[in-house]
Amino acid sequence: MKGQKYFAKVASALAVTSILLAGCGSSEEEGGTNATSEDELTVDIFQFKVEFKDQFESLVELYEEENPGVNINVKTVGGGNDYAATLKTSFSSGDEPDIFNVGGPSEVEDYRDSLADLSDTKAAEAALEGTLSGVTDGDEILGLPFNQEGYGLIYNKRIFEEAGINPDEILTHEDLVNAVETLDSQKEDLGIEAVFALGAKETWILGNHLANAFLAPEFNQDLMEAYKSDTVTFEKGDEMKRFLDLQNEYSVQPTVSLDYSQQVEELFSLENVAMIQQGNWIYNTVHEMDPELAENNIGILPIPVEGFEGKIPVGVPNNWVVNNNSSDEVIQASKDFLDWMYTSDTGKEFVLNEFKFIPAYEGFDTTKIADPLSQEIYEYASEGNTLGWVFMGTPLAWNEEKLAVRMQKYLSGDLAWEELETQAITEWENSRQ
């Protein structure tokens, strides 16, 4: 009798323990997916773009149908910071993906030892000039661009028309000021709250995008030049200040608590403001709010930078990379998949119509670019009217945590602009020591 009780106790305790251990054990199984089973290759993709998760998965399914020997697992973790942290975790736990994403040169450096050379892929050959500069190391091409993105001042065509402004005539800062003043004087008739909505709560709007337009000339539009630079001089600091002041003065107040969703959804999509500084990625959001507005009534104006009028900052937001530590077959299969996505007909059609990307590769039928904003940006890009995206080459988090935070302080009236420049320069130099 006693023995039985004892046995029951031990058994139940063991059962509880095994449940706990089972929880820990499952990750080990997942870790083993790199191994090739008899005739099937498994490629693990770990990507960050939540917005196109469903479309991407259906593309993967198409590929698997065409290539029965390959099995692709897609794991998506969203949002910049979470992705970087999760990727790090998976590397330190040994559960490394075969294909993953890197942003700019600093991440390339972090993962340098794990990146396979992709210069022999067809996609690398087809990549547009300049789109590979952030991921090239000597002769090796370590990444393939996702797509291109561009930003500027997105405006409401109807409001501009009613105010009698021709957007094509706005090139210089003075032109812009005139247009803004015209709009401001007719605010009531036009039914708008203010001319701009400056989303100054979002550090990336200030530190990445706004600042980039005025920092790019200093580094010859070259991401890598910024990445290697020991200092920053704010050559065009006065223009940056002027442009920031203009947006702030004519914006819905208070700007420092105005976030992305208020800016794009509440204020721009509901036609409460005439212009916002944003990029082509807002198209889907605007479309959800008001398809009519999105399809016919929005356009993009370049940010006026002296000497570079009529140019739009266009860049590559993210890159695909292949893990060097995977087996040779898996590396090859990964390259094949990426090639297929950007160079096969099925893949190309998907990239344009389903992902709604502005392609970073040759050989696309660009008349099929899905939305007018992207179309316009692609035109600027193909005519070479672009500014570089240097913010990916600044010291890590410098633009958002150091520069943008000080811009917020400046907007709150607690910091002088000269002081901001000096402090931001010091921060840059400190992190590049």
Partner 1 sequence: MNNRKLSFWLFLTPVLLGLGLVVVLPFVYGLIFSFTDWNGITANNFLGFENYINLFKDAEFRAAMGFTVLFSVVAIILLNFLGLALALLVTRKLKSSNFLRTVFFMPNLIGGLILGFIWQFIFISVFDDIGQALGIEALSGWLSTTNTGFWGLIILTCWQMAGYIMIIYIAYLQNIPNELIEAAEIDGASSWQRFRHITFPLVAPAFTISMFLTLSNSFKIYDQNLSLTGGGPYNSTQMVAMEIVKTAFSENEMAFAQAKGVIFFLIVSIIAITQVYYNKKREVDM
Do 225 and 208 touch, CB atoms closer than 8 A?
no
Asked whether position 270 contacts partner 1 by CB under 8 A, the answer is no
Nearer to partner 1, 87 or 170 (CB): 87
- Cα separation, 369 vs 179, whole angstroms: 30
Q: Which one, of 198, 188, 143, 183, lies nearest residue 321 by Cα?
A: 143
Asked whether position 254 contacts partner 1 by CB under 8 A, the answer is yes
- Cα separation, 77 vs 101, whole angstroms: 11
Asked whether position 416 contacts partner 1 by CB under 8 A, the answer is no
Question: Which of 1, 20, 22, 35 contacts partner 1 by CB under 8 A?
Answer: 20
Nearer to partner 1, 91 or 281 (CB): 91
Asked whether position 265 contacts partner 1 by CB under 8 A, the answer is no
Question: Which of 62, 256, 370, 425 contacts partner 1 by CB under 8 A?
Answer: 256
Asked whether position 1 contacts partner 1 by CB under 8 A, the answer is no
- Cα separation, 240 vs 122, whole angstroms: 40
Q: Which stretch binds partner 1 (CB under 8 A): 87-95, 229-237, 367-375, 383-391?
A: 87-95
Q: Which stretch binds partner 1 (CB under 8 A): 61-69, 140-148, 153-161, 252-260?
A: 252-260
Asked whether position 422 contacts partner 1 by CB under 8 A, the answer is no
Phi, psi of 115 (to 5 degrees): -100, 130
User: Cβ-count burial of 262 within 10 angstroms (0-12 exposed, 13-18 middle, 19+ buried)?
Assistant: middle
Task: Map residues 363-402 to x or -, x wherever contact with partner 1 holds by CB under 8 A.
Answer: ---------------------------------xx--xx-
Do 203 and 369 touch, CB atoms closer than 8 A?
no
**How many residues make contact with partner 1 (CB under 8 A)?**
39
Strand order in the sheet with 41-47: 70-76, 41-47, 99-102, 319-322, 144-145
- Cα separation, 100 vs 186, whole angstroms: 50
Question: Which of 30, 40, 414, 418 contacts partner 1 by CB under 8 A?
Answer: 414
Question: Which of 36, 172, 185, 257 contacts partner 1 by CB under 8 A?
Answer: 257
Tokens 């077959």 belong to: 329
Q: Which stretch binds partner 1 (CB under 8 A): 39-47, 159-167, 375-383, 409-417?
A: 409-417
Residue 411 structure tokens? 């907007």
Task: Map residues 106-125 to x or -, x wherever contact with partner 1 holds by CB under 8 A.
Answer: ----xx--------------
Q: Which one, of 312, 392, 314, 322, lies nearest residue 360 by Cα?
A: 314
Question: Which of 1, 16, 22, 35 contacts partner 1 by CB under 8 A?
Answer: 16
DSSP state of 103: -
Question: What is the smallest separation between the CB atom of 20 and partner 1, expressed in angstroms?
Answer: 5
Question: What is the smallest separation between the CB atom of 155 and partner 1, expressed in angstroms?
Answer: 25
Question: What is the smallest separation between the CB atom of 412 and partner 1, expressed in angstroms?
Answer: 5
Q: Which one, of 421, 3, 390, 6, lies nearest residue 226 by Cα?
A: 390
Q: How many CB atoms lie within 10 A of CB 171?
A: 13
Question: Which of 77, 128, 177, 405 contacts partner 1 by CB under 8 A?
Answer: 405
Question: Which of 30, 61, 85, 185 contacts partner 1 by CB under 8 A?
Answer: 85
User: Please, where are the H alpha helices in 35-186?
Assistant: 53-66, 80-92, 105-110, 122-126, 157-162, 173-185
Residue 254 structure tokens? 């208070």
- Cα separation, 336 vs 123, whole angstroms: 10
Do 420 and 411 touch, CB atoms closer than 8 A?
no
Do 46 and 97 touch, CB atoms closer than 8 A?
yes
Question: What is the smallest separation between the CB atom of 367 and partner 1, expressed in angstroms?
Answer: 40
Question: What is the smallest separation between the CB atom of 45 and partner 1, expressed in angstroms?
Answer: 20
User: Cβ-count burial of 325 within 10 angstroms (0-12 exposed, 13-18 middle, 19+ buried)?
Assistant: middle
Question: What is the smallest separation between the CB atom of 328 and partner 1, expressed in angstroms?
Answer: 24
Task: Map residues 190-209 to x or -, x wherever contact with partner 1 holds by CB under 8 A.
Answer: -----------x--------
Q: Which residues would be at the binding site for partner 1 (CB under 8 A)?
A: 2, 6, 9-10, 13-14, 16-17, 19-21, 24, 81, 84-85, 88, 91-92, 110-111, 201, 253-257, 262, 396-397, 400-401, 405-406, 408-409, 411-412, 414-415
